[in-house]
Amino acid sequence: MIYPHRIRLRGPWECIPVEASTGVPPMPRRVTMPGRFRDHGLTAFAGRARFIRRFGYPGQIDDHERIWLTCAGLEGVADIQLNDLILARDHTGPFAFEVTPQMKRHNRLEVAIAADSDSAGLWGEVALEIRCSAYLSDLEVQQLADGGVEVSGRVRGTCDSALELYGLGDRAHVHYQRIEARQEGTPFRFVVPARQPPAVQVRVDLIHVSTVWYTWETSLGA
């Protein structure tokens, strides 16, 4: 398996408008994510709506694996619940929660969004993400004045031994280090040297023994 392994929760979702700023809330409907209110037929809607997705347990989870609930983009103010457990209140923006202990054979996710306009909604991909107990986070790239690229991030989580971190620029190895995982995150930083033509693909691999525990890749403008 390649980590993180994503299981997209695209549909069907139940959409239940429960409160409208003016007038009567629209009728409930089934929708597919990602999408904003207007994509679900709630044009010019302002108010509060509940989005509900039911799903099963994602197969066999090994001891070194964890289940995360992620969303790449949320506009509005949301209360997020999984199996009636509150994960967040008054949340805005993307989110990622480890939910391994909360998962059941049958699961119910509810995202209640308060919206000022029909641009609100879960506009980013919602997914279950299978990660290992240690993973990459806070990844950033910055173009340097000399044409190189600085890559930074953190290794979060737990592991009973040191991990190996590899950095690649256009498939060429440019960085290697051994690194410990910590819950608060162990920072790392390296530079992809300038080259002609400029590097446009950067990848970071986090490896435990011979298994890639997390891989991240991004493309930069040529």
Question: Is the Cβ–Cβ distance between 103 and 57 less than 8 Å?
Answer: yes
Range 5-132: architecture per CATH: Sandwich (2.60)
pLDDT tens-digit readout, 95-111 = 999 999 999 999 999 99
In this predicted structure, what is the pLDDT of residue 221? 65
Does this chain's domain 5-132 share its CATH topology with 134-219? no
DSSP structural state of residue 26: P
pLDDT tens-digit readout, 144-182 = 998 899 999 999 999 999 999 999 999 899 999 999 999
Which one, of 171, 163, 136, lies nearest residue 152 by Cα?
136
Question: Is the Cβ–Cβ distance between 216 and 3 less than 8 Å?
Answer: no
Question: Is the Cβ–Cβ distance between 9 and 127 less than 8 Å?
Answer: yes
Mean pLDDT of 4-29: 95
Range 134-219: architecture per CATH: Sandwich (2.60)
Mean pLDDT of 89-95: 97
Which one, of 95, 199, 91, lies nearest residue 142 by Cα?
199
Compute the distance between CA of residue 30 and CA of residue 16 in angstroms, rounded to an integer: 9
Is the pTM of the predicted complex or chain greater than 0.95?
no
Domain ranges for the chain:
5-132, 134-219
In this predicted structure, what is the pLDDT of residue 195? 78
Q: Which residues contact 98 (CB under 8 A, 6 or more apart)?
A: 66, 67, 68
Tell whether the model's pLDDT for residue 114 goes beyond 90: yes
Mean pLDDT of 83-89: 96
Compute the distance between CA of residue 148 and CA of residue 35 in angstroms, rounded to an integer: 36
Compute the distance between CA of residue 30 and CA of residue 132 in angstroms, rounded to an integer: 33
In this predicted structure, what is the pLDDT of residue 222? 52
Compute the distance between CA of residue 35 and CA of residue 13 in angstroms, rounded to an integer: 11
